[in-house]
Amino acid sequence: MMAVSSLRICKGKQLFDEPLSKHTSWRVGGPADRFYTPTDIEDLALFLSDLPLDENIIFLGLGSNLLVRDKGFRGTVISLKGSLSQLELIEDNSLTVGAGASCAKLARFCQRNNLTGGEFFAGIPGLLGGALAMNAGAFGGETWPLVKFVYTINRQGKTFKRTAEDYEIAYRSVTGHSDEWFVSADFQFESGDGEQAALRVKALLDKRSQTQPTGLLSCGSVFKNPHNDYAARLIEASNLKGYSIGNAEVSAKHANFIINTGKAKASDIESLINYIQKKVKQEQGIDLCTEVKIIGEIDND
């Protein structure tokens, strides 16, 4: 276990050797050396500025797009769940949204304020910070086309205001300023009928529940869709629906989902990911790239 922190007094909640299985949607993963939930942006800046310069740092939302290996993460995890979650109307159908706000809550906020264009956020099972980091999307919509400005913070606690032109934005990919993390964003929506938007969201979510294994332990989509194709189709065509390693199983309902059937280890899931990639390459000639992020120590035993 780590020694007691010598950091200056911060207002947030700090834990040591915290099991990340408690904070990921797959419910797997070993401990993080340090786990911190800031109270606000000033507290986050203070905390970051006091960390060692060589400290490994990751920001965590709802853990819905993350696989943490069984040996855990050597470094600091900053959790935004319950933090930096502001949603505020500014002007001209614009919103300021904190990185800790859930995408589903953002979609509902838009509906209540008669704003359209953000309905797809209802289908993203995570927080805004993660959606910004990977250009998350659902139902044909993506995060970054709606962005006016993003606000970031670096490990010295300094904040920045940036635009989309400061990044390279692509399908499920955002690169640039890798030494900074998103803390909020300004979005531009369209004025419209919130009730009609709510009906569209309901129809989309109903369709999702019919085609995806909602309510089970998964991370959402595991692989990115290749150009002009679908990862689920390629996996199904390789006869992998229902295939399992340990207690990790390819969903029989949607092949781009891997389910923890109860007692899976992270190693089961990672082995299944690797096997799917190998099998699809052999059978279909396509390299599947992961959408899920894999972190943590590799077990060489």
The whole-number mean pLDDT for each consecutive block of 10 residues of the chain, a chain of 301 residues, reads 50 96 98 97 96 96 96 98 96 95 96 94 95 94 97 97 97 93 98 91 89 93 96 98 98 98 97 98 97 90 61
Q: Do 137 and 117 form a contact (C-beta atoms < 8 A)?
A: no
pTM for the model: 0.91
Instruction: Check which CATH number belongs to the domain holding 235 and give it.
Output: 3.90.78.10
Tell me how far apart the alpha carbons of residues 291 and 274 are, in angstroms, rounded to a whole number.
13
Q: Which two tokens stand for residue 264?
A: 């899976």
In terms of domains, do 65 and 165 share one?
Answer: no
Q: Which two tokens stand for residue 143?
A: 């995060």
Domain boundary among 210, 245, 274: 210
In terms of domains, do 203 and 168 share one?
Answer: yes
Domain tally, the chain: 3
- Residue 6 in domain: no
In terms of domains, do 206 and 217 share one?
Answer: no
What integer pLDDT is reported at residue 8 of this predicted model? 63
What integer pLDDT is reported at residue 204 of this predicted model? 86
**Quick one: which of 283, 282, 275, 237 has its CA closest to 258?**
275
Burial of 300 (0-12, 13-18, 19+ CB in 10 A): exposed
The residues with which 68 forms a beta bridge, in sequence order, are 295
Q: Write the single-letter amino acid at 119.
A: E
What integer pLDDT is reported at residue 4 of this predicted model? 38
- Residue 2 in domain: no
Active centre residues (catalytic): 172, 221, 291
In terms of domains, do 112 and 183 share one?
Answer: yes
Domain coverage including residue 51: 13-79
